[in-house]
């Protein structure tokens, strides 16, 4: 036993062997927030399958019309209301151009000596439904992209400023928001019809006026919760200006909420356009959208169901996949959903 008067040697300060520190080694590599979210999204099979299906629909919206040899707007009254006919598959007895007429199964193509193949059939004016479906899908995707851009530009910025400034500025901005949210989208579209013709422009203006309200409220609520966090106060103490606090600290921490709400905005915008076109105040003939195609097929659904079923399937795929992707992103970005 050493006494207090014993000399201190260098041996007493030797570092212990590294083998004794093995329990402090980080066995798992560090992950960024984005990579961690991606790993959790990848485990969600429904979200991955939905993303693949949505990607295929987007590709077909741009490539589909060129795969067909027919102009989506060209009319041919000699080839009206033809059923679907696909080469190769017709040998299986399905999609072979047959149709019940007077209770009797008949091949309409052979009766009218039509050599061409209309994969989705034709409408009442003899226009190729395959090319029109993908042209209409392109319009619906444009509406979805427009809604996402409006949410990102107007809704996010409005919510950031309102929540960050607070006080009188927040009160005034929220009163304006309440007035705008009290105006239904349908009323705005009808008012636009008094000034503009029915079409994409009137739908675009209606979405610009009222489409960003939900995103602004969500972002404002998150900013109110985050702006008093320790890292914001520390950055402010070190002299950070408001722009840096907004775009370098708050906005990155809001990215998950923004992405999730944007994904849920897309199906709502597509359904809004389809609803307007279905009731006749959206796109007008000869323009095609999924809503106008469903509205045209609705008139002859009992006799020619494919005219309504095919565009309905496409719009259902878009709506379901975007919702499933939104659910997957919500689970991935929510820290409470960690495995």
Residue at 100 is within a domain: no
Residue at 332 is within a domain: yes
Residue at 265 is within a domain: yes
How far apart, in whole angstroms, are the C-alpha atoms of residue 177 and residue 169?
12
Contacts of 226 (CB under 8 A, 6+ apart): 232, 250, 253, 254
Average pLDDT over residues 4-23: 59
How far apart, in whole angstroms, are the C-alpha atoms of residue 292 and residue 286?
10
Helix axes 290-299, 129-150, angle to 10 degrees: 140
How far apart, in whole angstroms, are the C-alpha atoms of residue 133 and residue 122?
11
Residue 73: CB atoms within 10 Å? 15
Contact (Cβ atoms closer than 8 angstroms) between residue 263 and residue 329:
yes
* Residue 173 reports pLDDT greater than 80: yes
Share of the chain residues as helix, strand and coil, in percent rounded to the nearest 5 = 70, 5, 30
Q: What's the pLDDT tens digit per position in 219-255?
A: 999 899 888 888 888 888 888 888 888 888 888 888 8
* Residue 7 reports pLDDT greater than 80: no
Q: What's the pLDDT tens digit per position in 23-58?
A: 555 556 666 666 777 777 788 888 899 999 999 999
Owning domain of residue 198: 42-80+122-337
* Residue 2 reports pLDDT greater than 60: no
* Residue 5 reports pLDDT greater than 80: no
Contact (Cβ atoms closer than 8 angstroms) between residue 89 and residue 128:
no
Q: What percent of the chain has a predicted confidence (pLDDT) above 70?
A: 88
CA distances to 62, 130, 307 from 67, rounded to whole Å, are: 10, 9, 19
Residue at 102 is within a domain: no
Average pLDDT over residues 275-281: 77
Residue at 22 is within a domain: no
Report how many domains make up the chain. Answer: 1
Q: Which residue has the higher pLDDT, 17 or 135?
A: 135
Residue at 276 is within a domain: yes
Q: What CATH number does residue 233 fall under? A: 1.10.3720.10
What is the structure's pLDDT at 24? 54
What is the structure's pLDDT at 56? 94
Residue at 36 is within a domain: no
Beta bridge partners of 335: none
Q: What is the pTM of this model?
A: 0.78
Residue at 331 is within a domain: yes
What is the structure's pLDDT at 339? 47
Beta bridge partners of 105: 100
């Amino acid at each position: 036993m050493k006494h207090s008067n014993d000399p201190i040697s260098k041996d007493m300060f030797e570092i212990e062997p590294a083998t004794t520190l093995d329990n402090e080694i980080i066995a798992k590599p560090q992950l960024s927030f984005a990579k961690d979210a991606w790993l959790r999204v990848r485990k969600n099979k429904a979200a991955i399958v939905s993303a693949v299906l949505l990607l295929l629909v987007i590709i077909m919206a741009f490539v589909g019309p060129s795969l067909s040899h027919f102009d989506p707007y060209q009319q041919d009254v000699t080839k009206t209301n033809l059923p679907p006919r696909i080469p190769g598959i017709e040998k299986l007895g399905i999609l072979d151009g047959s149709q019940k007429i007077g209770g009797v199964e008949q091949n309409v193509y052979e009766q009218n000596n039509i050599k061409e193949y209309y994969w989705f059939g034709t409408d009442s004016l003899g226009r190729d439904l395959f090319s029109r479906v993908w042209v209409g899908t392109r319009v619906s995707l444009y509406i979805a992209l427009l809604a996402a851009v409006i949410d990102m530009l107007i809704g996010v910025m409005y919510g950031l400023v309102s929540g960050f400034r607070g006080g009188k500025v927040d009160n005034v901005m929220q009163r304006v928001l309440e007035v705008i949210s009290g105006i239904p989208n349908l009323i705005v579209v009808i008012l636009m019809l008094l000034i503009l013709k029915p079409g994409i422009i009137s739908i675009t203006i209606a979405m610009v006026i009222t489409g960003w309200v939900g995103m602004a409220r969500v972002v404002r609520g998150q900013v109110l919760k985050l702006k008093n966090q320790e890292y914001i106060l520390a950055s402010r103490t070190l002299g950070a200006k408001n722009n840096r606090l907004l775009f370098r600290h708050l906005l990155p921490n809001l990215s998950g909420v923004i992405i999730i709400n944007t994904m849920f905005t897309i199906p709502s915008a597509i359904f809004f356009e389809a609803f307007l076109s279905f009731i006749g105040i959206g796109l007008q003939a000869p323009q095609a959208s999924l809503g106008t195609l469903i509205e045209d097929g609705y008139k002859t659904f009992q006799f020619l169901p494919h005219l309504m079923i095919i565009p309905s399937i496409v719009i259902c795929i878009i709506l379901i996949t975007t919702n499933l992707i939104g659910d997957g992103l919500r689970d991935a970005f929510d820290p409470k959903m960690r495995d």
